[in-house]
Amino acid sequence: MPGIRGPWEYSQEPPRHPSLKINAKEPFNAEPPRSALVSSYVTPVDLFYKRNHGPIPIVDDLQSYSVAFTGLIDNPRKLFMTDIRSLPKYTVTATLQCAGNRRTAMSKVTTVRGVGWDVSAIGNAVWGGAKLAHVLQLLGVPKLTGSTNLGGRHVEFVSVDRCKEENGGPYKASIPLIQATNPEADVLLAYEMNGETLNRDHGFPLRVVVPGVIGARSVKWLDSINVLAEECQGFFMQKDYKMFPPSVNWDNINWSSRRPQMDFPVQSAICSVEDVQMVKPGKISINGYAVSGGGRGIERVDISLDGGKHWVEASRIQKPGKDYISEHSSSDKWAWVLFEATIDVSQTTEVIAKAVDSAANVQPEDVESVWNLRGVLNTSWHRVLLRLGHSSL
């Protein structure tokens, strides 16, 4: 399309931070050290996980770049960046998480397919841009619309990039129209991340951010936005990112039997120590993140040192200097909380973290109970093993 193109090869990839753990080079998929996640409430752009399905698109001429709005709407048209920037700008603090976060733990049960993410395919950022509800209103689709006059009920986002899963076509995904037209859902057409212009890895010049939903729906490098009667039929909506029971394998899978995954479940992970860490006897700070989808807050994070027989509650924080209250107006509803607990270690100890969200959803105890052949949505209790020995901790 004019102004931006999706290359076929990887010779013009952007520079990346040297501390990223590379899980795949082409396409580039990488995550930061887990300790970086708890260093600040807002994740630095360079240390935000990178999830790609093809070469990074290249912008040749920003002035000629536009997004086509098509489909079952009365006023299809193209919008340029100047049009989108002329709308009221909103900032939304939201956590994005890959559905495959913590996949490596599932592969320890039985090997699964997909990028081998540890616990850091997640990050929290301040996104800036126009609300999609306001953009659609500009095109004649009122707020809180479940169906257009022409029968449109879903909003599809189509990227510029090229994916092998789409046979060289673009990445695409969709959300329900009622969500897209709800200003309170905070779906953004974002052109800023942490107060700066989006970089290439994160969707420059324009991406969608769908808070509270798995990262696969927050499409980068937008080419077009289409209002459809049915949900997107792309590969990543219909043949990936669906939750199957442990009994399903690659021989008996029926993709049409499950809906595309949207909200992510309640999740937490310990980030201040590795899965197996040598420590000195004494007091140790256990820090990590907890988050839930759909705008649900984190009611508590529990820590156990005896296999889950007894628990202590960790402290929770979002903004420094402010008490965190789940689902309170002072809290960021789409963002993670960081937790902390001080424990006393006198012997080799397994530390367990589990979170409970504001709807009383609790992380499942065992990875075996949520194992699935694609290794998505591992939200089981997070466990780390502390061994006594020489350590800098």
Residue 102 resides in a domain: yes
pLDDT score at 390: 67
Kindly state the tokens that stand for 333: 């509803």
**188 touches 225 (CB < 8 A):** no
The structural domain count of the chain equals 2
284 φ/ψ angles, rounded to the nearest 5 degrees = -135, 140
pLDDT score at 239: 97
CA geometry: angle 23, 26, 29, nearest 5 deg = 35
Query: In this structure, are 55 and 177 located in the same domain?
Result: yes
pLDDT score at 2: 85
Q: What is the mean pLDDT of each run of 10 residues along the chain (393 residues)?
A: 92 98 98 98 98 97 98 97 98 98 97 97 98 97 98 98 95 98 98 98 98 98 98 98 96 97 98 96 97 98 98 96 92 98 97 98 98 98 93 58
pLDDT score at 53: 96
Query: In this structure, are 231 and 305 located in the same domain?
Result: no
Query: In this structure, are 157 and 226 located in the same domain?
Result: yes
Q: Which CATH number is 365's domain given?
A: 2.60.40.650
**Reduced to 3 states, what is the DSSP secondary structure of residue 237?**
helix
CA geometry: angle 30, 36, 37, nearest 5 deg = 85
Kindly state the tokens that stand for 369: 């109970």
Query: In this structure, are 335 and 234 located in the same domain?
Result: no
Enter the pTM of the model.
0.97
Residue 113 resides in a domain: yes
Query: In this structure, are 301 and 378 located in the same domain?
Result: yes
**Residue range(s) defining the domain that contains residue 200:** 4-239
What gap in Å lies between CA 212 and CA 169, rounded to an integer? 27
Residue 245 resides in a domain: no
Neighbours of 75 (CB within 10 A): 9
Query: In this structure, are 166 and 210 located in the same domain?
Result: yes
pLDDT score at 320: 86
Query: In this structure, are 158 and 233 located in the same domain?
Result: yes
Residue 250 resides in a domain: no
What gap in Å lies between CA 335 and CA 66, rounded to an integer? 30
Q: Which CATH number is 175's domain given?
A: 3.90.420.10
Query: In this structure, are 172 and 302 located in the same domain?
Result: no
pLDDT score at 321: 86
What gap in Å lies between CA 231 and CA 241, rounded to an integer? 14
What stretches of 90-190 show up as alpha helix (H) in DSSP?
A: 103-107, 132-138, 177-180
Query: In this structure, are 186 and 326 located in the same domain?
Result: no
Query: In this structure, are 218 and 314 located in the same domain?
Result: no
Residue 256 resides in a domain: no
Residue 244 resides in a domain: no
